[in-house]
Amino acid sequence: MSPEVTEVNRAVVSGSVKKMSHVVKKRKLDKNRQDRLYFNSYTDVTIHEEMIADYQRTNTYRTAILRNTELIRGKVVLDVGAGTGVLSIFCAQAGAKKVYAVEACSIAEQAARIVRQNNLQDRVEVIRGTLETAELPEQVDVIVSEWMGYALLHESMLNSVLYARDKWLKPGGLILPNRAELFIAPINDPVVEDRLNFWYTVEEQYGVDMSCMSNFAQRCIMNSEITMNTVSGQDVLSHPARFAELDLHTVTVEELRSVRGPFRCEAFGSASLSAFCVFFTVTFPCPDNKPLVLSTSPFMPETHWKQAVLYLDAPVEVVQDTLVEGEICLFPSEESSRHVCIHVDFTIGEEKKQGKTFSISDWSAEAQS
């Protein structure tokens, strides 16, 4: 979850695509400053309330942990980025002998209180500090972590999970979740259509022709920010295309610096293509059942991650079977390595190839204001 963009989300009113702009020139933040701003963003109760209240998220983790009881009972577990400690407690309830709940921000104090309130202090140990600096007294059998950010990779928390895997996980150990997949699909955004059309309706209402505002509105709305919106399945214009898969047992930090893949979609019918949406799934292995999947697809129940919406510069009309293809790449921002950028090269039907780079509002402006 990405609390540093909470204000951006609050600016998205009733599904609109209102954007926030920054007048401060960005400069690259040093890593310590980036980390401090990131961890501080988790000190407020609001973000933890939002995550715990996300039933799809929290219950999927609980179910996955309980289905792995045979692999967790009597074993040592490491919870990376434990937050309030709810996943650690799930693991203790599944029979873990010991759980190390590592959390860098001050919410660790609340996690320790929650652990005591559930009488699990003999098995769940809350460790305040970053995973990279934490010292554990033993290797672990299981790593559990809710590391996913917007568009999967925002926040770069997966890097810490991989560090934990390489340093603390026993060979053949369990990782929950152990696989992630990224998808892209072209969409129509009816709210954008209504907002662009609004300027053509002013004359009828007030007697003033303001249609010339439409181009300006288009530049403002269909800009280069990654917008976190809830996309309705009925606004998705093709079958989603999977463009990347990450195996948490083998993926490296180096590979996370450029997560890319091709995509190819065919339009369902006539519509105005105004954006792409990017979403992800993560998969939990279950020994006696088929794998359990947590999905942020527009066709599945809503989660707090919503979908990452990438607006074209201008809408493009498509018809049945119009080919939409290209390549997409996720990579860290130069200003702050914890923030994801997305570049998409794409061709829509007979249109010429285009490319656009998107970024998410980050701490840089906040840090310099």
Averaged pLDDT, 224-241: 97
Distances (CA, A) of 158 to 108, 174, 223: 19, 16, 28
- pLDDT level of residue 140 (50, 70, 90 thresholds): very high
26-146 matches 181-364 in fold? no
Q: What is the pLDDT of residue 344?
A: 98
Q: Where are the domains of the chain?
A: 26-146, 181-364
Q: What band does 335 get if pLDDT is binned at 50, 70 and 90?
A: confident
Cβ neighbours of residue 241 under 8 Å, at least 6 residues apart?
183, 184, 185, 263, 264, 265
Residue with more model confidence, 368 or 171: 171
11 or 260, higher pLDDT:
260
63-84 pLDDT per residue, tens:
999 999 999 999 999 999 999 9
**What pLDDT is attached to residue 37?**
52
The answer on pLDDT for 131 being more than 60 is yes
Task: Extract the tokens encoding 132.
Answer: 């990279």
| Residue 312 near residue 357, CB atoms below 8 Å | no
210 burial level (CB within 10 Å; 0-12, 13-18, 19+): middle
**Which of these CATH numbers, 1.20.1510.10, 3.40.630.30, 1.10.1370.40, 3.40.50.150, describes 26-146?**
3.40.50.150
pLDDT digits (tens, 9 = 90+) for 178-223: 999 999 999 999 999 999 999 999 999 999 999 999 999 999 999 9
Q: Which residue in the block uniquely carries the two structure tokens 């498509």?
A: 318
Query: Which CATH number is 181-364's, of 3.30.70.980, 1.10.150.20, 2.70.160.11, 1.10.3720.10?
Result: 2.70.160.11
Global pTM reads 0.86
Q: Which residues are catalytic?
A: 146, 155
